[in-house]
Structures are given as C-alpha cells and as structure tokens.
Amino acid sequence: MTGISTGLSAGISAGTATPLIRVQDLRKVYRNGEQETVALAGVSTTIDAGEYVAIVGASGSGKSTFMTLIGLLDQASSGRYWLDGQDVTGLDVNTLAALRNRTLGFVFQSFHLLPRLNALDNVIVPLLYAGVPRDERRERAYAALQAVGLADRWQHLPSQLSGGQNQRVAIARAMVNSPRILLADEPTGALDSRTGRDILALFEQLQARGMTVILVTHDKSVAERAARQITFLDGQIIADSRSVAEVA
Ligand code: ADP
Ligand code: MG
C-alpha cells in the first residue's frame, strides 16, 4: 500500500499540557416515547494529541454514543467536553459543524459513501463544506486517494469498488481536511481480516504523522494494536490501559 503523503499530515499541538480531548461526567440518555435508555452514565477521561486509542466493550455498552459525542455529532444530556482546551458544551449547531469539519474525520463500519458520487467526488465533500476552491478541491482529493493507494480508481462509483477499497475512499475523505482527530467506529467490521489489517496499517501511518486516532472495535487483535485501550461497560469506563510495549 502506498504511504501517506506529507501533504496530508495532521497538525500536532506543540508541547502543551492541555489534553486534546477532555470529558467530564458525560451522560447521554436517549428517549423514545416512554422509554429511556442511559447510554452513557457519567464518563470522564482525557485523550492527548497523537494518541492511538481503542475503545472496546460489549455491544450496547455505549461505545458509539461516546464517539458520537466526541465527534460533535450529538449533544450530551449532561456533562462537559473540552476540545483542545475549548469548552464545546452547548455551542450552537453551526459553530459545532464548522469545528467538526475542521477538526474531526470519521470512518464508519458501513463506509457511509454517497452511492451516486465517484470516489473523487466522495472525497471532495468535506472540502465543499470547508469552502476550498474548485481546483484545489480536486487536487487535494486526488492526493488523498493517492495516499490510500486508490488514485487509479478515482472515477469508480462505490458499487464498483470492493469493501476494502470503499473503506479506503472513506479514509481518504476523513483525512482530506487534515483533521487532528480521526474517529473510526468498527472500521474493519465489514472487511476480511487481510483487508482489515491494511486499513489498520493506514491508521498507524496517520498516527505516526501526528494524527490522534480513536477506534471502536469488537476485535481483540485490532484493539491490541493500539497503545491504549479504554473499556466500556453499561455506559461507563471500567478499564483504561496503555500497553507496556507502546509506553516504552
Ligand atoms: P455500542 O456502540 O457499544 O454497541 P451504543 O452507544 O450504540 O453502544 O448504545 C448504547 C445504548 O444506547 C444501547 O442500549 C442502545 O440500544 C442505546 N441507543 C443507542 N442509540 C440510540 C438511539 N438513537 N435511541 C435510543 N437508544 C439508543
Ligand atoms: Mg456501536
């Protein structure tokens, strides 16, 4: 697989003590009619710039909800969230959208590509929101596809690509704005194990260039490649470990 080109490297904060992500007593209650589900029951943690963190835990333990809140895709019911030192609790929707577009890239299990757009146009989408001029959009999107080894497939529709190729398009889209944080929710869940390993290698290259990678996974072998594992159970963090080998 092709290496990540330097043009796509993520920003690194210069030696500040402020954690990139800090949440305090985050709670999320979903209400469907009469029914209430406590998805997060008070979560506090910090994640530093440049970390590679695996979020693990049983189905229904709150992992995706946590990612959704960290990713500014939804608001917590209570608790606070500081992103790079800025309190983002209660910011209005437009401010959140702009911050999200600038700071966060997302990769999902089911790719979430637009089926009628070719690979290049899918990667261009975040640049449209960011107001990047047309020629620069195409150049940057093409460079991102090159970085994930898919430049020769830029004209293909998602239906004309394999699962692993679609996930690489999704990663190119997630990186194209050079966000500081990559959030991936079961990114290898729909892929065969070899393709999954290629995708993980891509994340590891991104992290080596300074991107903070936070990845939800069911798969123990995937989690063990991360330097730190945070385990959820019933909406709470029950364990948080950095593997000895990675800390050294
Ligand atoms: P995980 O990703 O660990 O499987 P989730 O964060 O998706 O867990 O879900 C945590 C809990 O919240 C589960 O009980 C789930 O059913 C519930 N939940 C998630 N999303 C919603 C929603 N939009 N509406 C109602 N309940 C939800
Ligand atoms: Mg989930």
pLDDT, tens only, 215-239: 999 888 899 999 999 999 999 999 9
The predicted pLDDT at position 186 comes to 93
The predicted pLDDT at position 132 comes to 93
Calculate the alpha carbon distances from 202 to 71, 86, 118, 141, 147 in Å: 20, 29, 21, 17, 9
Predicted confidence (pLDDT) at residue 15 exceeds the cutoff of 70: no
Ligand 1 and 62: CB distance under 6 A: yes
Residue nearest to atom 11 of ligand 1 (CA): 39
Averaged pLDDT, 62-78 = 96
Q: Which of 73, 46, 41, 71 is nearest to 57 (CA)?
A: 41
Place of tokens 């910011």: 91
Sheet-wide strand order for 21-32: 35-47, 21-32, 78-83, 86-87
Ligand 1 and 28: CB distance under 6 A: no
Calculate the alpha carbon distances from 81 to 45, 48, 228 in Å: 10, 14, 20
For a pocket test of ligand 1, which of 26, 27, 30 has the largest count of ligand atoms closer than 8 A to its C-beta? 30
Residue nearest to atom 18 of ligand 1 (CA): 39
Residue nearest to atom 27 of ligand 1 (CA): 30
The predicted pLDDT at position 66 comes to 98
Averaged pLDDT, 97-106 = 94
Atom of ligand 1 nearest to the CA of 58: 3
Whole-prediction pTM value? 0.89
The predicted pLDDT at position 25 comes to 98
Give CA–CA dist 163/168, Å, rounded: 9
The predicted pLDDT at position 16 comes to 52
Q: Which of 234, 224, 237, 244 is nearest to 52 (CA)?
A: 224
The predicted pLDDT at position 133 comes to 96
Structure token digits, residue 53: 């963190």
Render pLDDT for 119-150 as a digit per residue (tens, 0 to 9).
Answer: 999 999 999 988 899 999 999 999 999 999 99
Give CA–CA dist 168/177, Å, rounded: 15
Ligand 1 and 64: CB distance under 6 A: yes
Residues surrounding ion ligand 2 at CB below 5 Å: 64
Atom of ligand 1 nearest to the CA of 31: 25
Looking at 66-171, which runs of residues are DSSP E strands? 78-83, 86-87, 104-108
Widest distance between CA atoms in the chain: 52
Ligand 1 and 217: CB distance under 6 A: no
Ligand 1 and 189: CB distance under 6 A: no
Ligand 1 and 74: CB distance under 6 A: no
| Reported confidence tier of residue 13, pLDDT bands at 50, 70, 90 | very low
87 CA distance to ligand 1 centroid (A)?
Answer: 25
Render pLDDT for 172-187 as a digit per residue (tens, 0 to 9).
Answer: 999 999 999 999 999 9
Nearest listed ligand to the Cα of residue 55: 1
Q: How many residues does the chain have?
A: 248
